[in-house]
Amino acid sequence: MARLLVDERDIKFVLFELLKVQELCQQDRFSNWKEGAFVLLLEEARKFAEKRLFPLNLEGDRIGVRFDAGEVFAVPGTKDSYRDFVDAGWLTPCEEEAYGGQGLPEVIKFAAHEIFFAANFPFMCYVNLTHDAAKLIEKFGTSEQKRLYLDKMYGGQWTGTMALTESSAGSDVGAIEVKATKNGDGTYHLTGQKIFITNGDHDIAENIVHMVLARIDGDLPGTKGLSIFIVPKYRLNEDGSIGQPNDVRCIGVEHKMGLSASPTTTMSFGEQGACTAYLLGRERDGIKIMFHMMNASRLEVGMWGQGICSASYLHALNYSRERKQGASLKDPGSSSQVPIIRHPDVRRLLLLMKSHIEGMRAMLYFCGYAMDRSAIAETAEEKTWWRNIVELLIPICKAYPTEKGVEFASHAIQIHGGFGYTRECPVEQFMRDSKAACIFEGTTGVQAIDFAVRKVAMDQGRVFQDFLSGMDKIVCQSSGWPGWEKYLTHFHKTKTALQELPAHLAEQSTRAGNFYSLLKATPFLDAAGDVFVSYFLLWSALAASEKLESLLSKEGLQDKDKDNEQRKEFIRRKPQAAYLAGKIESAKYFIGNVLPVTDGKIAAIRWGDSSAWEMEETFF
């Protein structure tokens, strides 16, 4: 059976050949781990994803969640799969042993999560929301709160949510109106509604613990006046056992374009005047506490986009090898039909997808790796450097792969033809499901503003400029490749143009107004994503080229002459050599076909048109 979720070879290549994450095992924090153990863990993740999660995803899309008499019922099989997932250690892989964790590097967890996301995002919502809610209690809770909640949440008996959104407060979190009123015993009484709450109610756990952003009665408007509260569905007895209902009620589920197996709920708190909430951390620190998990949460959503891209590509690739249609261009006299992968336009789409996926995977994993490096940094300067890299990459890692997820699901449908548009084919589900990723944890526009206005300006712009300048090292190391001169020249040209954009945006904003940077933010993020991905592809091509030459050298095929048929035959015949050669072609394709379009994106930004802002509303 073809592997239809992720390319394991590429995951291993990025982890162990490109990033060399096995070197993390030399640090005390990860000294109990070895490369072989990482490989075994990822293999187990693949098996669970293929055997349990992907079939559950397909079935879940057909069945959907059920809302009946104020209760939400998950897709059958979800509860057992969640229990087995937790028992396998996947809910807390990076936590300390005291919390049931294994002390795994974040980058390995993110690699496993790409596999899980490719198989079943609705299922992973239970995992990530529970983990993140528990992590906030671990970091900011009192000893009593930790005693009451952590074992049950990290142990999988209870799940968690993040209750942020309201009908009048979506991206504008500061407009939240849910109110908390102080009781005389240190607790609070909560009243109001939250909408679009993922997993706000379900039947897979004994209790659901909501992290709710609310405003204490009398506190200032805006984000500075927000606090965060622990609000369990059922109150707890002193011994930690489940007590009476806590006046938390689901009053409806959304009927969505996709993600049918993920309950998106409207939650009512305190309808009967009896919703008890427990302050987490200090009053008015709600946004500060919530943003503690924001980078990891946004990277997780980017991983989901990556997973959708990967599954879409591999389904399309497999179909293109099996589906026969049309004659061969190489043998026009033959009446035999050929697999559609032999047709130029299909190959173009496949390589467009392949090159992006490989570059995005390297970028996403690098961001996770930077989190690990920051955690083990020995000096404040080193820690700051890695933290800044994470901050710079997060908006792109969240927005760029999720937008590509929609695009590549569409390409996969195109390659499948009419069959791809039917419910029998998984790729149509991929397209319906994928769009939500562009919205979760901050829309693409929000990420773009964060990138263009905040992240590019970090340390007076030096973080952005230094990251781009650091790419020159790979260009220099690759300069001796035969036939690569024009690719390297073009990459350097586009990268330099991107480096100059912040100065242009600053100049235009001074001249025209502050709106200008906001108007150009999304195109800027998109262009930066292209350049960042091309860099990681170029870096990957360098590593792949070195490894390929090593394989060829062992066979006595060191001669780099392109017409050396023995070399070509060896590469065609040996799967590992073919894979490495494919990595090199991915980089060439991206630089030769995507970056020229990026040049146009940058030119459009520099052209300075602001008609979208200047146009009167009535003109629309």
Instruction: Give CB contacts under 8 A, 24+ apart, made by 465-473.
Output: 465/499, 467/389, 467/392, 468/495, 468/498, 468/499, 468/531, 469/499, 471/495, 471/535, 471/538
The letter for the amino acid at 163 is A
Helix axes 78-87, 121-140, angle to 10 degrees: 50
278 φ/ψ sector (left φ>0, alpha ψ -120 to 50, else beta):
beta
Closest CA to 505 of 544, 551, 451, 466: 451
Residues with Cβ within 8 Å of residue 216, at least 6 apart in sequence:
179, 180, 181, 182, 188, 225, 227, 283, 284
**Six-digit token pair at 158?**
């209870």
Cβ(558)–Cβ(380) below 8 Å: no
**Six-digit token pair at 173?**
């979190």
| CA separation for the pair 162, 198 (Å, rounded) | 8
The letter for the amino acid at 35 is E
Catalytic residue among 441, 500, 546, 585: 441
Closest CA to 433 of 579, 264, 286, 240: 264
**Six-digit token pair at 34?**
């070895």
Q: Where does residue 287 rank: exposed (0-12), middle (13-18), buried (19+ CB within 10 A)?
A: buried
Q: Where does residue 424 rank: exposed (0-12), middle (13-18), buried (19+ CB within 10 A)?
A: exposed
284 φ/ψ sector (left φ>0, alpha ψ -120 to 50, else beta):
left
Residue with tokens 């293929």: 50
Residue with tokens 């959708």: 308
| CA separation for the pair 481, 314 (Å, rounded) | 30
Query: Could you give phi then psi for residue 194, rounded to 5 degrees?
Result: -120, 145
Closest CA to 446 of 612, 259, 294, 220: 294
Residue 17 annotated among the catalytic residues of the structure: no
Closest CA to 595 of 518, 537, 517, 519: 537
Active site positions, annotated: 441
